[in-house]
Structure 1
Amino acid sequence: MFAYIFVIILGLCYCNTENSQLSLDRPRLYGPSEGLEKKAVDFRCELPNHPVNQSILYQLFRNDDREDVLGVYSSLGGEVATFPRMIKRVHEGDLVCVVSVQNNTEVNPTVSQTHSFKVIVPVKGAAIVHSGPTEINEGNKLELRCQLQDGTHVSYNWLLNGKLISPSPVHLVEDNRFMISGVTSEDSGSYRCMAVNIFNKTKVFTSNSSEVHINVKESVSEPDISFTVLKEGYQNYSAMVTCQSMRGAPPITFSLYNTMGLVSNVTTAERHANFKIPLIMDRLMGTFHCQANNSANTASSQHLPIKVVPVGGPVEMHYNYDMAENYAVIGLRFYCKAATGSHPHVKWYLNSTVLLRERGSFYYVFNQLPDQSVLLLSVRSDSAGTYHCEVSDSFDNSTAISSKRLYLDKEVLNRIPMFVQAVVFGCFAVMVLMVTSCCIIGVIYRRREYGEQSLLSLEMVKGVAAYEDDLSLSLYSEGNDELKIREDEFDQASDASLSEWHI
């Protein structure tokens, strides 16, 4: 029994030894990471610790397709297996090398790690595909696609008028597509796509498409509405209404409306149009607005009431001045305005000579408000003189109204006005009078105070003198009495002495 068990153990050890001798290590696959189509490339597969006297089969596969054998190599001596291949597109992907022992199915095959491989097919035949019209309205979407006849691993560049377009939130580039979410007039021009792929970081293949011209029709902007007055003969007036858009692709159709409806319309290649309507002075002719349309969009102007009031007086002219650090007047601003008038025209005069130009050597004229004109004047020796302004209707200058005339020069402007002088002198006189009055009142008060003090002192002196006299008299009376007493005493003593003497 023991011998039987020992034989079995020896047999198992022998089998394990045989199997361990035929175990295969993991092979290593290496080669280029990319190759050009129809060019030869060598892949190599190396098996560490090649079994002795064993024929090893090397096979090259794509990892995702183990049915299609890309290369086969058989080795008995342990050399590195080589797979020379003429590159096809089927070779792209993750490649693996599988090794196994030939004619021995008991040994499991081993697989190498994956080796990534790219097949570069040079680009060619680039062309832009655009299904929509080549003229589109502003704000619409534009989509272009770059189509190739052939090419792999391609990057795309888009050019407008020969300049590279940078991707942005508005200009999107996704693979071979170029999109603009909302076109503007700046997107008009010739588009071209350029397809590029690179082999081995050194060889660049490019294919440029032909240009496709895209015309973006600019939307018309909100028109401005205004009018001027025309005088045609005696007391015959018309209003020339102008509608004008600052932008927009022509042709543009302008339409004029009032509260009653459409007045007139016109289609023009310009960005403005004029409409003539009859006009009566001092009467509201209605409220008008205009519309502009160029098929891209329609825009409307603000509403404009049309009423013309002729110029009427009086005409007032006044001025403000600017001073330097030394308080000298260096500049003036004259203002001229008529009491009434919707379309005034102002002329400025110096010494009865009209200042024709808007800008002169020492002056500048501009209209601050529709009904007011301003003359800026630099105070110099040549700007001295008499100034006035005249206001007339811009459409009829036959009845001009003049303002009062005002003489100004540098000395007059910097002279202290009489009113200011009178105020200053009056204030000074009042101040002197107040000081003098205070002094007089003070003197009178002091005298009165000192007078009362003198009378009181005199009475006090008199009282003191009377008191002293009374005191003297009383003292004198007391002395006499005392003297009399002493005399009596003396007489009595003498009598006693005498009596004593006679005894």
Structure 2
Amino acid sequence: MKKKQELCLLPVLVAACLVSIMGGSPLPSPILIGPDKAYLNSKVVFQCRSPGSPPPNTYELLKDGNHLVATSNDLQDDQSAMFFLKISVTSEGSYHCRVTAGGNMGLSGTVRLQVVIPVSGTMVTSDPDPPILYEGLRLTLTCDVTKGSHLSYTWFYNRQEVTSSPTSPLTPLLLWPVGNTLVVERVTTKHAGNYSCIAGTRMQTNSRFSSSREITVRIKVYLSVPQISFTISKEGSSYHGNVTCRSSRGTPPVTFYLFLDDKEVGSDVATESLVAWFPVAIVPGRDMGAVRCAVESDAQRLTSRPLTLVVVPVGGAPKVDVEYLYRVDSKMASARLQCLLSLGTFPFFSWSLNGSLLLHPSEGDSSHPSHALADGGRTLFLTEITLEDSGYYRCRARDSYDVTSAWVESQPVLVQVTEVATTTIEVMAIVFCCFLMLTLAGGVACVMRMLNRQRVKDDSVNISASSQIHFLCLTSLPDP
């Protein structure tokens, strides 16, 4: 039993010995002050303070446990020590301070130090590279650096900062940066422009940043199906044809090809536009074959519809079709005259009123300000109806490519302009009111007639009853 008690007291004796060896109770915990981040190859200061500890004191700066970094002695009751360190790659870690005074020891809290590599060599890279892509494809921009750590990134589009704020003017573009990347899933022409980024490390003091150069993103538009048309001109006695191939959408450069009866007869590279012209042989009145054009880019090849090269000379008897146009109040507002022509591929039209020519826009201003031509002169609008516009109108036509060709002329058509062409709404309202009053009067007359009939019937009944009573009275009297 006695041996067991001695064994139980053994830990207490060991603890007492340790306390005796260390010189008594531990010191109050010292305070370690130092940076949490520091640039590589820079110099930093750690300060270890131990208030209330009498000198002499020994200060030790430890890293990652018990790895001794530096030692300092305080012999004059300053109660603090300064440790100057030059930061290297191996300087990153956890630091604490140990103070020994009079055989007593105290440990500080931990300060975590991160080594920051200064940023440099910032640049924007793209996928695809170079940043030229068609609408609808995916674009990825990356803000790369030659060296640097603990970085944050800021993106700019046309020198405007890209943010996730819903009030940003760039929000409709759906530019959402994630880390050092900026991704657009489906680009449109609105995403074309200049992009740049800034990479940097934000510190409490001495933050550092590095800017990239701008990178220009080009968005190419897919081609539309080309449209084909042709014109004809005359020089002396010779005729010349010109075929036009045009796409309404697309990004140059593109190549146009012309096919005559499915055989390639010409090509042209359009570097700044989406149109090309090809000369062709043509003779009025003859079928010169079927032409088609094709347009080709680095991603597409599209072909137009076929077009027959036939020029029909102007002929037949033109006819004038008149259509009157009215306002909301049913008053005549204007008139539209169309010259209907049965034959002619490229007609030139002219109009006359009561034998006086109305000038074509290509020949000068019209003497009638209320007259306007449309559809290449085929349609004549009387924009303001007056009595002076009444009269006989004719149209005539000839071949536009040959000033020596003969005119064909329509029969005169009378355009009669009146002050009021149709019944107005006011007249209709008056007629309706009159009809309503007549209906009410007729109804009142019918009611009065029915009442009069009932009154006559009642009077006849009363007279009959009186006659019967009088007869009964006479028959009841005695004979004299």
Is this contact kept in 2: 1:36–1:87, CA < 8 A? no
Q: Which runs of 5 or more structure 2 residues have no equivalent in the other structure?
A: 164-169, 424-480
Structure 1 partner of 2:439:
none
Q: CA RMSD in A?
A: 5.0
Selected match of 1:123 from 114, 119, 126: 119
Kept in 2: contact 1:389–1:403 (CA 8 A): yes
Work out whether residues 258 and 292 of structure 2, in 8 Å CA contact, stay in contact via their aligned partners in 1.
yes
Unaligned runs of 5+ in 1: 417-503
Q: In structure 1, what is the equivalent of residue 94 of structure 2?
A: 95
Residue 407 of structure 2 aligns to a residue whose secondary structure is strand
Identify if the C-alpha distance between structure 1 residues 129 and 333 changes in structure 2 by more than 3 Å, giving closer, same or farther: closer
Aligned 1:90-489 pairs, distance under 5 A: 90=89, 95-97=94-96, 115-127=111-123, 136=132, 138=134, 146-148=143-145, 150-159=147-156, 162-164=159-161, 173=177, 175-176=179-180, 192-200=196-204, 203-210=206-213, 221-231=224-234, 237-246=239-248, 251-269=253-271, 271=273, 272-281=275-284, 284-295=287-298, 297-351=300-354, 352-357=356-361, 361-367=369-375, 373-396=379-402, 398-408=405-415, 410-411=417-418, 414=421
C-alpha separation in 2, matches of 1:111 and 1:340: 109
- The CA deviation string for residues 336-373 of structure 1, in whole angstroms up to 9 with x for no partner, is 21123333333233332224239863233222xx9953
Q: Say if 1:75 and 1:81, in contact at 8 Å, map to a contact too.
A: yes
Q: Which range moved further: 119-128 or 397-406? A: 119-128
Separation (CA, whole Å) in 2 of partners of 1:278 and 1:72:
101
Change (3 A) 1:264 1:154: same
Q: Kindly indicate whether the alpha-carbon contact (under 8 Å) linking 2:155 and 2:197 is maintained by their aligned counterparts in 1.
A: yes
Structure label with greater radius of gyration: 1
CA contact (8 A) 2:339 2:395 kept: yes
Q: Partner amino acid for 1:332?
A: A
Query: Could you state the TM-score of these two structures normalised by the residue count of structure 2?
Result: 0.63
- SS of 2:341's equivalent? strand
Contact kept in structure 1, 2:38 and 2:116, CA below 8 Å? yes
Q: String of CA shifts for 1:226-259, please: whole Å, max 9, x gaps.
A: 111234555x644321112345565543210144
Deviation at 1:318, TM superposition (A): 2.3
Q: Secondary structure at the match of 1:395?
A: coil
The 8 Å contact of residues 96 and 111 in structure 2, kept in 1 or not, is answered as no
Cα distance change, pair 9–290 in 1 and its aligned pair in 2 (3 A): closer
- Larger relative helix fraction: 1
* Change in 2 beyond 3 A, CA 1:196/1:300: farther
Number of aligned positions between the proteins? 403
Distance 1:335 1:89 in 2: 91
- Displacement, 1:291? 1.9
Residues 289 and 163 from structure 1, CA distance in 2 versus in 1: closer, same or farther, beyond 3 angstroms? farther
CA apart distance, 1:145: 5.5
Instruction: Quote the Cα distance in structure 1 between the aligned partners of 2:280 and 2:57.
Output: 108
CA contact 1:58–1:100 (8 Å) conserved in 2: yes
2: CA distance, partners of 1:282 / 1:91: 93
Residue 257 of structure 1 aligns with an amino acid whose one-letter code is F
Contact 2:245 2:293 in 1 (8 A): yes
Taking structure 1 as the reference length, the TM-score comes to 0.60
Is the Cα contact below 8 Å between 1:61 and 1:71 reproduced in 2? no
Q: Distance in 2 between matches of 1:197 and 1:385?
A: 87
| Deviation by residue 1:178-197 (Cα, 9 ceiling, x = unmatched) | 66777777777666543333
- Alpha carbons 1:365, 1:376 under 8 Å: kept: no
Q: Please give the alpha-carbon distance, in whole angstroms, between the structure 1 residues aligned to 2:382 and 2:109.
A: 90
Identity %: 24
Check the 8 A contact 1:135/1:217 in 2, yes or no: no
Q: 2:46 aligns with which of 36, 42, 46?
A: 42
Mapped to 1, the partners of 2:120 and 2:298 lie a distance apart of: 40
* Residues 137 and 296, structure 1, Cα contact 8 Å, conserved in 2: no
- 8 Å CA contact 1:256, 1:264 repeated in 2: yes
Aligned position for 1:486: none
Partners of 2:383 and 2:225 in 1: CA distance: 39
